[in-house]
Amino acid sequence: MPEIILHYIWEHCLWAGFAQQTTDGRSVEILSVGEHNRDAGPDYSHARIRIDGKEWVGNVEIHVSSGDWVKHRHHLDPAYDNIILHVVRTVDKPVYNSRGELIPQCELNYPGDKDYLSDLFVSAQQMDSAISRIGCAEQLIHDPELITAGWRKTLLNKRLECKKASIDRLLEITKGSWEHALYISLARNFGFHTNSLPFEQLAINTPLSYLQKHRNSLFQLTALLMGQAGLIKEKFSLTPMDPSIWKHARMRPQNSPELRIRQFAQLLYQSESLLSKILDTNDLKDLISLFEFRETNVPPLGRSSIDILLINTVIPYKYAYAKRHNAHWDAFAMMEQIPAENNSIIRQWRVLGQEVKNAADTQALLHLYQNYCQHHECINCEVGYQIFQDKQLKLF
């Protein structure tokens, strides 16, 4: 059964009238299923559950089997520490949060008619906007291997080429300066999607040469960037940005633009010749260490944030530099060493039965969704073409 059907059953209360209990025999009353979260983090927030008469308010995570909890690395992620109930179709192991605390689990009890559940798939597709854009979703549910390993590798290569094209455009803007282009690209990715455009504008408005004059003072670097961002009173002879372009709504404190700017300043402060270090380093642990802060009061970047910077900045730059200089560098191998990303699009691919082991998988699937599924480019997709060919054969 696809996970999306469990979401549909949970959200539309199709479990009503069926007794629910935890795997250790405690009664479960579902008072509120909570709010469906389509961003990173637990599936449902603000749920209300009564377990053995005691009411709990918090998050609910849903999986086909309890083993998916570990597969998705939730046992290492503090964002999942407030799970009050792990709802599954099948329990095959106990699960724990990052503090080592046992999470209550419930094998959801619901109508068991196979035809009825099969019919839910269409409704579930309509419920989920991301999956509704994947035209071959129903075929993939029955045959996940329609997306072949070869097609994934081609998609990853296409994504790297797109990132290389963006770097080439930055090199034109910066008159061939790889260091300046890296600075702008790194700033953009410090915005972590939500504030990527304001961060990029901050870097463009704040010349790298100006920052380098102050790189021996973390205080000066931070004040310059915060002032240019319009987030503190400007003390330099530069034109600050309009502070209203920065997004703060529905944002965790660790993702606030103020903290990200302080972290960016810390990276610039401690990372002289960052470009050459990135280009000269091929060991993943050494690359990670470049983004680990030393002797600072600034909260460190989390491993998942460092991974995003590696995926979206470091690896594309090493790839683009190698291509420009006709050198061989295996970006695929390094992507395979980085854990899989966790976002709403990747979670939908998981629902459709796609195996997601590392960043090479997630980058390929993101490219497939964003460049084919969203634009209905099915005939140009290996999967869509294969389905089309199968249908043609059946007609003759």
So what's the pLDDT on residue 337? 97
Domain map of the chain by residue range? 3-127
So what's the pLDDT on residue 1? 63
Which token pair is 286?
């050494």
Q: How far apart are CA 28 and CA 25, in angstroms?
A: 9
So what's the pLDDT on residue 128? 54
Q: How far apart are CA 64 and CA 353, in angstroms?
A: 11
So what's the pLDDT on residue 113? 60
Are 21 and 28 in contact by the 8 Å Cβ rule? The answer is yes
So what's the pLDDT on residue 72? 87
So what's the pLDDT on residue 20? 93
Work out the number of other CB atoms within 10 angstroms of the CB of residue 130: 18
For residue 371, give the DSSP letter.
Answer: I
At 87 the three-state DSSP class reads: strand
CA angle 43, 47, 51 (to 5 degrees): 115
Are 105 and 91 in contact by the 8 Å Cβ rule? The answer is yes
pLDDT in tens, 201-238: 999 888 888 898 888 899 999 999 998 888 766 555 66
Q: How far apart are CA 166 and CA 206, in angstroms?
A: 20
- Residue spans of the chain under pLDDT 50: 123, 126-127, 395-396
The number of helices, as runs of H, and strands, as runs of E, in the chain is: 19, 7
Length of the chain: 396
So what's the pLDDT on residue 207? 85
| Sequence letter at residue 156 | L
Task: Sort residue 249 into left (φ over 0), alpha (ψ -120 to 50) or beta.
Answer: beta
DSSP letter string, 291-341: TS--S-SSPPPPHHHHHHHIIIIIHHHHHHHHHHTT----HHHHHHHSBPP
The structure's pTM equals: 0.67
SS3 content of the chain, % helix, strand, coil (to 5): 55, 10, 35
